[in-house]
Each structure stands twice: as C-alpha cells, then as structure tokens.
Amino acid sequence: MKISFLLHSAYPIGGTIATTFNQAGALADRHDVEIVSVFRNRERPQLTLDPRVRLRSLIDLREEQDHPAHREPSRVFPAVEARHSDYSALSDERIAAHLATTDAEVVIGTRPGLNVHLARQAPDHVLRVGQEHLTWGHHSPRLRTVLRRAYRRLDLLTTVSEADARAYRRGAWLPGVRIEAVPNSVPEPELSPSDGRAKLIAAAGRLVPMKDYDTLIRGFAHVAAAHPDWRLRIYGRGQERDRLRALIERLGLSDSAFLMGAAVPMEAEWVKASIATVSSNFEPFGMTIVEAMRCGLPVVSTDCDHGPGEIIQDGVDGRLVPVGDADAFGAALLELVRDDERRRTMGKAALENSRRFAPDIVVAGAERLLADALAAKTAGRRPARAPGAARRRLTAGAQSAHDLGYTAASAAVRTVRGWRR
C-alpha cells in the first residue's frame, strides 16, 4: 500500500519527527512511503531519513515567508492549537490541494491541527489516520471540543500509550472511529551497549519547564555529596539553559553537572554513561527512556503521565519515583550508584526489555492495524467497539457538556463557526 505522512516540519530535531522517520523507514521495507512536510526552512533535515522514503514540502519558508496568503490566518487549522500562528491561508490552500490529489491509500496526520485538516479535507476513499503524540488530557478544553467534532470523520486514531487510548475512548466520544495504542519505535543502536562502569549519569531533552530538570539537578546533588567522582551530563537546548546553569552554580555543582548542548545522534552519548534519567512532570511516551534502554542503561524516571510507567518495570530495568520529589530522585540514583552489580543487571534487563520497541516489532503491529482498518473501510464496515462502549458514550457526553462551557469565549466561537463554514 502507499502510505503518506503529513508532518508539520521534517527539518528540525524533535520527538515527533524522529518517530515519524523511524516509522516511515520501517514501513518502507514493504510499502511505498512518503513524508509530506508542510513547512521547510533548510536544505536537509537534521535527522537521518531512510533513503527509500520520499520527502517533499508544501511551503518553503526560505522563498515563501512573505507570500501574501501566508500573512492571512488559517481558517482550517484550529485557532486553539498551539501551532496555529505558523499556519495561514497559504497552508490551508496547499494542504487542501495535496489531500485532494494524493494517490496514497493511507494518509497519517501527526498533530491535532493536521488531523483536523485530514478529517475535513481528505477524500472519502483514503484511510484517514490521526496520530496523537501528546495526550487527550494535555489539550485545552476548547481544543478537545474542536477535536470531538472534527475527529468523527477519521477512520483510525492512534495514541502512544494505552493510558491515553483509554482516555480518548472515555472522553472523546468518537463513534465509528477505532482508537488504538501504537508505541513509538527506536532502532537498534549501531554502537555496543554501555558496560555500566562509567561514573556518569545522562539526561537528554529540551531545556523547558515540562522536563523539570530542577528535580534532576537537586536529586543529583545527593549523589555529588556522597560520591564526588560521579558526573551528570544534560543534553539539549532550550529556554531554561541560563536558569539551570544558575541553579547548578548555586548548588555548588559546577565541577560535576554539565549542560552539554544538543547531541545528534544521542546514542553515542548514552553508551558513555551508566545511568539515564528522565525528570519530567509530563511525558506522553518517553522516547529518551527507550533510546537509553536500547543502549543498555537503567533509567531513573518520574512516574509521570503517561509513558514511563508503561515502559519501565520498576526495580527491574529502572526506577520510578514521584513527580517533583528531588529527595526520592536522589535516593533512586544513589541506589544504582552504590551497587555496581545491581546497576549492571538492570542495564542488561533494560537492553532486553527495550527490544519490544524495535521498529520491526512495532511496525508489524501497526501494519496489521492499518490493513484491518483499510479492509473495514473498503467493505463499508464500522470497527467493532471495545466492551463498555455505551458507558464511555455516557461519560463522554457528560464531559462534552462540561467542556462546551469553555467555548463561550468569543475567539473559540469564531473558530468553530469558521470551521463549520
């Protein structure tokens, strides 16, 4: 089958981009696959794409940033979606033309606003698949209201965790839309895994509030006090860099905790370490958890919604600690720092358990899901509902009434009216 991904931009570094590239590359073993990037701002993507996957863009910002239509706001991409300011009348036009003329059997959207485009504008014969890379609960009530209306024209909606799939089934009320969890995939590293001997702890991700690096740094202070020969390296760029640097200096960790900047590929840095960490207060999935585990590292992570608890087996291949609890985080780190044998045993377990996220395994399940949904659509069948569907409809109806109250704001009303037109 021909499969087309619709992506905001294929050119920066980001979790959704990495996941899409991984999925597309694995699907290219047996299918005709393309990625359509709405925006382009550089010659080549910063991440490596399988050469079998075609990449094209709809708007080249290097040449069309000042296009008259790009100065007019989008009327399709939801105004309450975080990326709305990037979209315009020009993107409305280009996305609509792309969807109207696509020869793909399956088109996959990769963020809520693009899923709305897909639901509204893709031809009926196309299998319309929306991917959720955040979570239902993470979206504002006003966006959830928009998604409830638009997503009813999707054929399939996938989330990256079972917990979020359950949340969508309970709260979104999408009769006739199949909702399933498909985890992100991570390829096998080309380097040999960590041997767990280095006195090094690593973390990676954007330096933004959601990642709560304060908890990690304060937790690491316990390690530095008891074992001053251990080091912490945090990889990534972002708005929090100066503040985190000041925190490191204030805690007297300047000689042991380091902000390293971005590293691509990250696997070369993971294998240098012996412990990986994730201190986020919210993780839809947890790509860095799987990446580190695939390099043979046990992961100390906050037990935040939704991904870490579905990836890490606490006490087997990592540790799960309460969100925002620096003392608990430090205690979990010290547990692994002080016990070489336990650290290496957990690292081996992490390596073994993370194989379930290999692209061939994940994509095999995704292929079966797509084939089944396509066959059902072709035959004119509606997907079977999971048990408890009636109860979910009642729950979703009550939640819908609650959320609709938020749409009284005039901006939201204008958005919905514009969408209806």
Q: For 154-171, give the secondary structure using H, E and C.
A: CCEEEECCHHHHHHHHHH
pTM of the model: 0.82
b/e burial code for range 102-138 (CB count within 10 A of at least 16 → b):
bebbbbbbbbbbbbbbbbbbbeeebbbbbbbbbbbeb
| Distance in angstroms (rounded) separating the CA atoms of residues 264 and 60 | 24
CB 382 within 8 A of CB 392: no
Q: What are residue 278's DSSP bridge partners?
A: 301
For residue 382, the model assigns a pLDDT of: 54
Q: What are residue 277's DSSP bridge partners?
A: 300
The pLDDT tens digits of the residues spanning 113-149 come to: 999 999 999 999 999 999 999 999 999 999 999 999 9
Would you put residue 78 in left (φ > 0), alpha (ψ -120 to 50) or beta? Answer: beta
For residue 305, the model assigns a pLDDT of: 86
| Distance in angstroms (rounded) separating the CA atoms of residues 225 and 220 | 9
For residue 408, the model assigns a pLDDT of: 36
**Which pLDDT band holds residue 15 (cuts at 50, 70, 90)?**
confident
Tokens read off for 110: 């990769």
Domain annotation for the chain: domains and CATH numbers: 2-185+362-420 (3.40.50.2000), 200-356 (3.40.50.2000)
Backbone angles phi, psi at 28, to 5 degrees: -65, -10
Among the listed residues 164, 157, 148, 417, the one whose alpha carbon sits nearest the alpha carbon of residue 286: 164
Give the neighbor-by-neighbor strand order of the sheet with 32-40: 54-60, 32-40, 2-9, 106-109, 127-131, 156-159, 178-181
For residue 383, the model assigns a pLDDT of: 53
Q: Helices (DSSP H) in 253-312: which residue ranges?
A: 267-270, 287-294, 308-311
**Which pLDDT band holds residue 97 (cuts at 50, 70, 90)?**
very high
| Distance in angstroms (rounded) separating the CA atoms of residues 7 and 83 | 12
**Which pLDDT band holds residue 379 (cuts at 50, 70, 90)?**
confident
C-alpha distance from residue 61 to each of 46, 91, 252, 267 (Å): 16, 11, 44, 31
The pLDDT tens digits of the residues spanning 266-313 come to: 999 999 999 999 999 999 999 999 999 999 999 999 999 889 999 999
